[in-house]
Amino acid sequence: MEYPIWQLTTLGGGFWIALIATLHVYVAHFAIGGGLFLVLTEQAAYRTGNPHLLEYAKKHSRFFLLLTMAFGAVSGVAIWFTIALLAPQATITLIHNFVFAWAAEWVCFTGEIVALIIYYYTWDTMNRRDHLMVGYIYFIFGWFSLFLINGIVGFMLTPGDWLQTRDFWDGIFNPTFWSSLVFRTFFSAACAGLFGFVTATRIMDEETRVSVLRTCSAWTIAGVAAVVVTGFWYVASLPTAQYEMMLLKSHRVAGFMNWFWLTAGLTLLGGLTMALRMPRRMTFPLAMVVLMAGLGLFGSFEFIREAARKPYLIWDYAYSNSIIKSHAAVINQDGALARARWTPPDLRDGITADNRMAAGAFLYQLQCASCHSIGGPMNDIRKRTAMYDTDGMDSFISGMGKLNPYMPPFLGTPGERAALAAYIAEDLNGNAPLARTAVPTPEPAAPAPFNPDEDTHVLLAWTDQGMTFYAQTDLWTLLPPAITLRAQLILRDPLPEVVTSGVTLTFAVDPGFEGNTLTGSLAPHEDGGRFEATLNVRPYADGAFNPLPMATIEARDAGGQLLATTRVALPVSDQMGCRNCHGGDWARHDSGVSTATAENILAVHDRMNKTDHVARSRKGPILCVECHDDPIQNARGAGDRPNLSAAIHGSHAVYLAGRDAEDSCLKCHPQNTLRGLHAEAGLDCASCHGQMEDFAIALLKGEQRAGKQGADKLLTLLTPRSVNSADEINPRAPWLAEPDCLTCHRDYTAPDTIDAFNAESSAELYSTRRDDLGAVYCAACHGAPHAIHPATGRDSTQPVQYTGKPQALGANGSCSACHEFDMEDAAHHPGMGVE
């Protein structure tokens, strides 16, 4: 924030660091191990009196000088140049805190230069003892350079107590200092053997060439074997947070770890082959292949180490974009544009419609470009965000650094976050904002006939949910298409009776709709008060999307005589908004989860949870309830994973926090979920279920109470909105512990609150609650949840049949539907007759 920005596009900062640093540090390790290899080779030549070996040592010293001093010095300067431009804040921190160490390292480096130059130019003029002494002096200076640099490099990953003390010695002798030093010392030895292969192939004397190649093999094999062993020590010495980031949280590590073991095996195999099978046939190209395997080994290790310190450059101090962690609160309050010293003047006065893209571009360079390229070979931002529109990108940025802890959080105001999202989605990817998908309005449905003067029975029907949604693809099933239809048959009389025996109830969905159970019977329920059937009906009629199929229900006596008929809407939809963030289009007719969207969801699940769902889905659809409990499906999962609802809401709340129901709940759930009285009164999802993050906390606390440790992580990422602490939120079980009508309508009176979320849950669900007489179900007269009468369109077909109006049965003097005359007093519950 304090320094100018190096404008990077195709070749982002990560590319330059990976290219320059990996090559430089590989050669730098050779400069240490190769120095010892060189002087020991010279000593062996004197001891054996082998002039060919001595001549090899002289030629190898020239190669060594040019590579380590010329290339090494230039690439070292390139590293300083690169990190000063890419990570100035972290670089300044290293300079200020380790001035003494840098000064000492420069003394050692100067000693290396002087000793190596003297060593190279005095082969024929200095006596053997002194020449060997100069060689050993070079190695000692080189190893102490490693000693100092290792402390500083290790500090960036594991600063340890320095974070509290700011003490030089705490920073240098950090938790991984000794394990890293031993690891790098052995790798330096392996490098000596690997680079020795390259020059040994040019030895003309065959016996000497074979001897040197086998010596190089010994250095390589012993070095790599020691690297593997000490690598376990190195990992074990990591603090818990970095250990988990390396092995548990960063999906990138798995790939690099595979490369580490592969290249380690190839390097060992190459060394063994050179020693046992091919020393006489070793060629320069083969030597380069083994050398490149060693580079892969070292490069994969460095990538693993880098991944372990994400999202920081200096762990828990400076983020990977050079922003100091302790500055986050101020930046979020004032804005990144206001706090960045080099913000363009035209952006300092705020974000407008005219400068929005320019602001997003600057914010991208400020907070993203140090790791991401634009269309480049490493961490291409376009490739990683291709599925997002502006709103989806904004949601992702909101949760950045939480579920994906290898990325730093976005720091700035919501307006700045939106500008960055627009720049990435619209400018870089050309993704226009997704328009909210319209829901078709079905044609009005004619009610079944009812003659109050002649009909002897009233048939009431409702669904257990006001909108039953499902999500099912060829790759996975989240929820199958299943809707529960319930009904009661009432004998009309001044004292009506609920009929539960001697009758048969059947249903038939209107022709043209898709599904497996479009006709059938409703079975008597075990509680003796209703009939019930589970239908598999899909919201497609004659190929068109229609989320409100109509069903006709008939009641007949034992002799088959028709007693009553009614019509009821079956609200069902697969218009789930997964594509808003997971890419792809609708499966068909502006509804359904497409294959492209489903594939992305599996890929994200694999990346975040280390599963193999993408591969498994090729063998058959994955059922989410294989792992996650789900009461609505009567399914038991596996292990300590949160139930399906808690897992989904808990993870998505991380990205949708701070949004209202329109921009959180209805980003995922079908648009026409709310269709009744409560929606007309201005209530939304949050009024009953709580804000997105509060609802998720309630579900996760329910799982935590049940001993599901998998809920703990998500709970740490969520901050409640309606209360001061998550301790104030009541645990809930999905589908079972829901707000009930009496939560707000105490004693059936008009509510004095529109916030039902955090009240103690009723022992009953609204869809199965009965009146005070224990006879008639509330939903039979008032309609299904989310579609409470007066509801609109097809949801009101049944009350219109019996009362002539889209109202609750019994309202406004309509009790005669069942009682055959208007009632003067409330019968089923207090407050009846009030509009």
pLDDT at 367: 93
Residue 444: half-sphere exposure toward Cβ, Cα within 13 Å = 10
What digits encode the pLDDT tens for the residues 424-453? 999 999 999 988 888 888 888 999 999 999
Distance CA 585, CA 596 (A): 8
Q: Is residue 533 part of a domain?
A: no
Task: For residue 555, list its beta bridge partners.
Answer: 505, 564
pLDDT at 278: 59
Q: Is residue 834 part of a domain?
A: no
Q: Is residue 633 part of a domain?
A: no
Maximum alpha-carbon separation in the chain: 128
Do both 210 and 354 map to the same domain?
no
Q: How many CB atoms lie within 10 A of CB 370?
A: 26
Least Cα distance to 816 among 613, 806, 827 occurs for: 827
Residue 504: half-sphere exposure toward Cβ, Cα within 13 Å = 10
What digits encode the pLDDT tens for the residues 275-295? 666 555 666 787 788 888 888
**3-state SS track over 671-728:** CCCCCCHHHHCCCCHHHHHCCHHHHHHHHHHHHHHCCCCHHHHHHHCCCCCCCCCHHH
Domain ranges, residue 162:
13-318
Q: What is the CA radius of gyration of the chain?
A: 36
Q: How many CB atoms lie within 10 A of CB 634?
A: 8
Q: Is residue 771 part of a domain?
A: no
Tokens of 724: 């001061």
Among candidate residues 412, 428, 444, the one where a domain is terminated: 428
Tokens of 219: 């250095």
Do both 255 and 339 map to the same domain?
no
Distance CA 249, CA 307 (A): 10
Q: Kind and range of the H or E element at 622?
A: strand 622-623
Do both 144 and 247 map to the same domain?
yes
DSSP letter assigned to residue 788: P
Amino acid found at 540: Y
pLDDT at 441: 84
Distance CA 478, CA 626 (A): 10
Do both 268 and 128 map to the same domain?
yes
User: Where residue 404 sits, what CATH number does that domain have?
Assistant: 1.10.760
Positions in the chain whose pLDDT score sits under 70:
248-252, 254, 271-272, 274-283, 753-755, 758-763, 833-835
CA angle 455, 457, 458 (to 5 degrees): 105
Residue pair 448/551 in contact (Cβ under 8 Å)? The answer is no
**Between β-strands 531-535 and 519-524, what pairing exists: parallel, antiparallel or unpaired?**
antiparallel
pLDDT at 317: 96
Residue pair 537/481 in contact (Cβ under 8 Å)? The answer is yes
Q: Is residue 26 part of a domain?
A: yes
pLDDT at 759: 65
Do both 44 and 188 map to the same domain?
yes
Residue pair 274/318 in contact (Cβ under 8 Å)? The answer is no
Least Cα distance to 545 among 671, 734, 707, 415 occurs for: 671
Do both 258 and 353 map to the same domain?
no
Do both 334 and 195 map to the same domain?
no
pLDDT at 33: 95
Tokens of 641: 């994973």
Look at the block and give the residue holding tokens 């080779």: 41
Task: For residue 566, list its beta bridge partners.
Answer: 553
Do both 60 and 34 map to the same domain?
yes
Look at the block and give the residue holding tokens 């920081």: 312
Number of domains in the chain: 2
Task: For residue 487, list its beta bridge partners.
Answer: 461, 531
pLDDT at 201: 85
Distance CA 477, CA 598 (A): 10
Cα–Cα separations (whole angstroms), residue 738 to 286, 656, 695, 764 = 70, 22, 11, 8
Tokens of 393: 């990108």
Q: Kind and range of the H or E element at 66?
A: none
DSSP letter assigned to residue 319: E
Q: Kind and range of the H or E element at 290?
A: helix 284-308
Residue ranges of the alpha helices (H) in 513-671? Answer: 579-582, 595-609, 613-617, 644-656, 665-668
Residue pair 294/267 in contact (Cβ under 8 Å)? The answer is yes
Q: Is residue 60 part of a domain?
A: yes
Residue pair 481/574 in contact (Cβ under 8 Å)? The answer is yes
Look at the block and give the residue holding tokens 């039902």: 756
Residue pair 729/698 in contact (Cβ under 8 Å)? The answer is yes
Do both 228 and 137 map to the same domain?
yes
pTM of the model: 0.86
Residue pair 478/471 in contact (Cβ under 8 Å)? The answer is yes
Q: Is residue 221 part of a domain?
A: yes
Look at the block and give the residue holding tokens 């976005």: 410
Q: Kind and range of the H or E element at 486?
A: strand 483-491
Do both 270 and 376 map to the same domain?
no
Residue pair 328/312 in contact (Cβ under 8 Å)? The answer is no
Among candidate residues 428, 447, 481, the one where a domain is terminated: 428
Q: Is residue 814 part of a domain?
A: no
pLDDT at 274: 65
**3-state SS track over 327-390:** HHHHHHHHCHHHHCCCCCHHHCCCCCCCCHHHHHHHHHHHHCCCCCECCCCCCEHHHHCCCCCH
551 in the Ramachandran plot: left (φ > 0), alpha (ψ -120 to 50) or beta?
Answer: beta
Do both 357 and 419 map to the same domain?
yes
Among candidate residues 318, 347, 366, the one where a domain is terminated: 318
Distance CA 95, CA 470 (A): 58
User: Where residue 255 sits, what CATH number does that domain have?
Assistant: 1.20.1630
Tokens of 295: 């580079």
Q: How many CB atoms lie within 10 A of CB 346?
A: 11
Distance CA 419, CA 729 (A): 34
Residue pair 226/263 in contact (Cβ under 8 Å)? The answer is no
Residues contacting residue 751 through CB under 8 Å, at least 6 positions apart: 744, 745
Least Cα distance to 305 among 179, 188, 401 occurs for: 179
Q: How many helices (H) and strands (E) does the chain have?
A: 33, 20
Do both 31 and 89 map to the same domain?
yes
Least Cα distance to 568 among 503, 487, 451 occurs for: 487
Residue pair 328/334 in contact (Cβ under 8 Å)? The answer is no
